[in-house]
Amino acid sequence: MKQSLTFIPTLRETPADADVKSHQLLLRAGFIRQNTSGIYSFLPLGKRVLSKVENIVREEMDAINGVEVLMPAMQQAELWQETGRWYSYGPELMRLKDRHNREFALGATHEEVITSLLRDEIKSYKKLPLTLYQIQTKFRDEKRPRFGLLRGREFLMKDAYSFHATRESLDQTYDDMVQAYTNIFSRLGLNFRAVIADSGAIGGKDTHEFMVLSEIGEDTIAYSDASDFAANIEMAEVKASYELSTEEMVAVEKVATPDQKTIEQVSVFLNKDANQVIKTLVFKVDEELVIVLARGDHEINDIKVKNALQAKVVEFATEEEVQQLLNCEVGSLGPVNIPTGIKVIADHAVAAIRNGICGANEAGFHLVNVNAERDFTVDQFEDLRFIMEGDSSPDGNGTIVFAKGIEVGHVFKLGTTYSEPMNGTFLDDNGRSKPYIMGCYGIGVSRVMAAVAEQFQDEKGFIWPSAVSPYDVHLVPINTKDEAQVTLADDLYKVIKENRFDVLYDDRAERAGVKFADSDLIGLPIRITVGKKAIEGLVEVKIRKTGEVFEWKKEEVLDHLQ
Ligand code: ATP
Ligand code: MG
Ligand code: MG
Ligand code: MG
């Protein structure tokens, strides 16, 4: 591509409103421009990097038999109402109405759409498993869009969804995905860890996040310096805010209208026997009603969590009970001991309120503000790790290090969370109707691009790894009025291009200083400078990454490149 014919608006100054390196340089080197908060245009160079990241993702998805589709960004509200997420997703979901006043969401994610698509088509176990993916623009009205492409409101995501007849089949695809993600982030040259993420269950077999280690990361992870062990440490903390799961929302929906739901308290139950962390949420609805929900992602003692939740919510949400609950003081309590499952907790919670017992002063349950060491001792819960930096790793190998991470990917065993409420069912080999067992797997393609941009740069500009560099070679004649230089550069441009290298040819009649500054900013892996020695058929070659400089004969250029 001739530079005079493309659009690379470089800036000499660092833009004042960009506060991380990737954002600053993507703007300065002319890769992106902001339209408005969290919304960006990809300029020609940015688009090329984005496409290269996309293609790596695509190759690895195809390699594990993922099949590409493209689903709509406009999604009818009815689908989201089926799962309850229309109410639970909150203000992050961009909503709009059509001319007939029908409600829509701009796709923040596609579980509902894909489940509705398959439920009408896939009716037999013989057609399972199936993994579909798309690479598509997502919309999330983030509270704090920031760090450029890292947290946008409109961004590119690869989202894959897998459908299975058995749990084992899901496990297999999940493992394949973890491998594919590992390949993708390795090919991109990123320094990353696959970390156990918070799914409400200790053991973390059900969800992993892929974190790029970076000082500007918004998550904190704990990892071993000598093994694969890594966890998102929010797992071990009581969260201040919380997104409702489908089950919780279905329950809440019965007593409240969408905009009245605010979360007042979040507590954590620890269930040693079931090897789980179970969250209990206290909701304040309409300033009057409070609902306590216990949450877990698994069946415990054959009781489905979902049923336990629904049964109890409505039962004790009277005003008086609410008041009692709000007045609860959790004093210094003995160790929490939860011998049985979540149903018991819900029962106890209701009984406690009914009997005027406030708080968690009954063996087996605990209501609000559970604190480690105060309300239970850590060593009671062998499977829950309150990990500190410098501790030995839970797997016995190495020492725990804390680091900041950027979440670039997330894999999740959904189970029947979506298929059940949406009636996505198939007939198994005995002719029994069962809900699909599902997994979902996301990669923030544009965020990944920013994570690469963050990692591969120095004070002069980008140092793109070949895998995602917008072009392979920057061809820079110093003086476009010098005939020997122009002739040689023109020749090289032709030859390099014909041999399938992507070359950016700076044919502009600019001063050498301008050209070099731009070239440094853009940061292609190889720069071929055509200068005074053009007359002798020699060019100067600089490797961006190492700074090495060579002199090549024009005839040898291709050989060297290959
Ligand atoms: P975060 O914790 O950063 O808000 P998330 O957990 O909400 O991310 P997921 O729902 O897991 O995100 O979406 C899958 C992937 O999409 C994430 O792993 C991340 O790489 C990417 N992603 C999510 N939100 C954004 C965003 N606002 N801008 C760019 N990429 C995003
Ligand atoms: Mg988010
Ligand atoms: Mg996250
Ligand atoms: Mg996530």
Kindly give, in sequence order, each residue whose CB lies less than 8 Å from that of residue 355, ignoring residues fewer than 6 positions away. none
| pLDDT of 233 | 63
Residue 235 CA to its chain's centroid (Å): 16
Query: Which of 26, 37, 193, 407 for mutating ligand 1's site (highest number of atoms within 8 Å of CB)?
Result: 407
More confident residue, 28 or 228: 28
Ligand (nearest to CA of 217): 1
C-alpha 210 to ligand 4 mean position (Å): 9
Beta bridge partners, 223, equal 230, 401
Q: Compute the chain's Rg from CA coordinates.
A: 28
Spacing, Cα 237 to ligand 3 middle (Å): 15
For residue 367, pLDDT over 90 is answered with no
pLDDT, greater one: 502 or 384: 502
Give the tens place of pLDDT for each residue, 51-63: 999 999 999 999 9
Share of the chain above pLDDT 90, in %: 62
pLDDT in tens, 291-329: 444 433 333 222 222 222 222 332 333 445 434 443 433
Q: Does residue 495 surpass a pLDDT of 80?
A: yes
pTM, two decimals, is 0.78
**Distance separating alpha carbons of residues 322 and 308, to the nearest angstrom:** 19
Could you tell me how many residues make up the chain? 562
Mean pLDDT across 354-363: 37
Rounded-to-integer distance, Cα 284 and Cα 260, Å: 8
From ligand 4's centre to the CA of 408, what distance in Å?
8
* Model confidence pLDDT, tens digit, residues 81-121: 999 888 878 889 999 999 999 999 999 999 999 999 999 99
How far is it, in rounded angstroms, from Cα 427 to Cα 124? Answer: 5
Residue 460, Cβ density class (10 Å: 0-12 exposed, 13-18 middle, ≥19 buried): middle
Contact 526, 541 (CB under 8 A): yes
pLDDT beyond 80 at 522: yes
Q: What is the pLDDT of residues 120-167, one digit of tens each?
A: 999 999 999 999 999 999 999 998 899 999 999 999 999 999 999 999
Summarised one tens digit per residue, pLDDT across range 435-460 is 999 999 999 999 999 999 999 999 99
Cα–Cα separations (whole angstroms), residue 397 to 199, 222, 226, 463: 24, 13, 6, 35
pLDDT of the residue at 36: 96
List, for residues 368-418, the tens digit of each pLDDT value. Answer: 333 334 433 334 333 334 456 777 777 789 998 888 999 999 999 999 999
- Helix or strand or coil: residue 475? strand
What single string gives the DSSP state of each residue in 347-401? HHHHHHHHTT--TT-BTTB--S---BTTTB-GGG-TTS----TTSBPTTSSSBEE
Confidence of residue 234 (pLDDT cuts 50, 70, 90): low
| Alpha helices, DSSP H, located in 437-532 | 445-455, 483-498, 512-522
Ligand 1 closest atom vs CA 219: 2
pLDDT single digits (tens) 176-208: 999 999 999 999 999 999 988 754 333 345 889
Query: Which residues' Cβ are closer than 6 Å to ligand 1?
Result: 109, 140, 142, 151-152, 155, 157, 407-410, 442-444, 446-447
**Nearest alpha carbon, ligand 1 atom 11:** 410
d(CA 23, CA 43): 14
Instruction: Among the bound ligands, name the one nearest to the CA of residue 218.
Output: 1
Between 284 and 240, the more confident residue is: 284
